[in-house]
Amino acid sequence: MKVSKPGDARFFVRTGPHNVAELAKLIGAALVGSDKPIMGVAPLQTAGSDDISFLDNRRYADALDATKSGAVIIHPDFQTRVPVGTSALVTPEPYVGWAKISALFHPPVSAKASIHPTAVIDATAHIDPSAEVGAGAVIGRAVEIGAGSIIGPLAVIGDGVVIGKLCRVHAQSTISHAILGDKVTIYPGARIGQDGFGFAITKSGFISIPQLGRVIIGDGAEIGANTTIDRGSAQDTVIGLGVRIDNLVQIGHNVNIGSHAVIVAQAGVSGSTTIGDQAMIAAQAGLAGHLTIGRGARVGAQAGVMADVDPGLEVLGAPAQPAKAFFREVVTLRKLVQAARSAAKPGQKKED
């Protein structure tokens, strides 16, 4: 199959051309080489003379030597390796530059002011005239949807939900008991605002406890596909400004996630845990309830966190512990295994 360039016109909006000087100004880069029109973005390996590419990882430096791209976003350390004829946009943060330029060529889809005739909308809902509501969407009583927002096909917006400006609620997601800020993105199949996992245990069984809180989602947050966020029990579940939550993440009731934190796929956060600003929770990590994860802390993949994590600390393993201690134990265990093998009697079968 022929390798195609990014941004298939069947799926993505495209702008341009944009001159290299314009792109350099956009990202605050120094332009080395000639100004020229650029039609799109592409990887170093497939870019042509009318494309712009980037290098941020030295592992791919050899691809820079052979690239045919018209321009490249580059760290100063690699400036001398840019091929003749390729303009260089020199910046200490090439990947940030790539993100900004990619978004210029391929901006988010804008709302088409319309309501599909198959959408079911309560008469008390207030939908800004510039918003878009897709086929089969259900909009409940007293819902508010802000200017330029898009509600995808078959999405369900429960009674009283408030959705800010320029939000994107993708297909088949459901939102209840929630207040969304501006520029929030909810990806397909996400479930937001359902009952938290709260019940009292009696000798004869369980008694469900009413979950009376909400979900508050800050401006610019993104919630991944098939992620679930429970509403609070007696207080709110809070997702801070600019938070990025990957696909298939579970957020329990009363969780409070600080601004610009990141939670990666299949992680689970139990109820009433607080996650500080800019913390990072890696894939498949599990956090017990009522914990505090400090600002800028990093929780490794598959870690089992059962105690508070100090700000800026990196933890690994289950139960989770500081990364240095974790690796010391790994090294010690390997040495013990090697010593046991060396001490095995002649002729005795050594275990793997």
The distance from CA 161 to its chain's CA centroid, rounded to whole angstroms, is 23
Tell me the residue type at 314.
E
| Predicted confidence (pLDDT) at residue 350 exceeds the cutoff of 60 | no
Residue among 116, 177, 253, 260 flagged as catalytic = 253
Local structure of 351: helix, strand or coil: coil
Judged by average pLDDT, the poorest of 95-104, 199-208, 264-273, 328-337 is 328-337
pLDDT score at 180 = 98
Model confidence pLDDT, tens digit, residues 292-316: 999 999 999 999 999 999 999 999 9
State how far the alpha carbon of 288 is from the alpha carbons of 222, 273, 292, 350, in Å. 23, 8, 10, 40
Continuous segment of H or E residues that includes residue 286 = strand 286-287
Contacts of 7 (CB under 8 A, 6+ apart): 14, 40, 41, 105, 106
Model confidence pLDDT, tens digit, residues 121-146: 999 999 999 999 999 999 999 999 99
Report the interhelical angle of 94-105 vs 20-27 (nearest 10°): 120
Find, among 243, 3, 7, the residue nearest to 102 by Cα.
Answer: 7
Cα separation, 144 vs 140, in Å, equals 9
126 is catalytic: no
pLDDT score at 337 = 84
Cα separation, 262 vs 246, in Å, equals 8
Find, among 64, 63, 18, the residue nearest to 41 by Cα.
Answer: 18
- For the chain, give the mean pLDDT: 94
pTM above 0.85, yes or no: yes
State how far the alpha carbon of 228 is from the alpha carbons of 52, 188, 282, in Å. 38, 11, 17
| Predicted confidence (pLDDT) at residue 97 exceeds the cutoff of 70 | yes
| Predicted confidence (pLDDT) at residue 352 exceeds the cutoff of 80 | no
Give the pLDDT band of residue 335 (cuts 50, 70, 90): confident
Which has the higher per-residue pLDDT, 341 or 206?
206
Give the pLDDT band of residue 5 (cuts 50, 70, 90): confident
Which domains are assigned to the chain? 18-105 (3.40.1390.10), 173-323 (2.160.10.10)
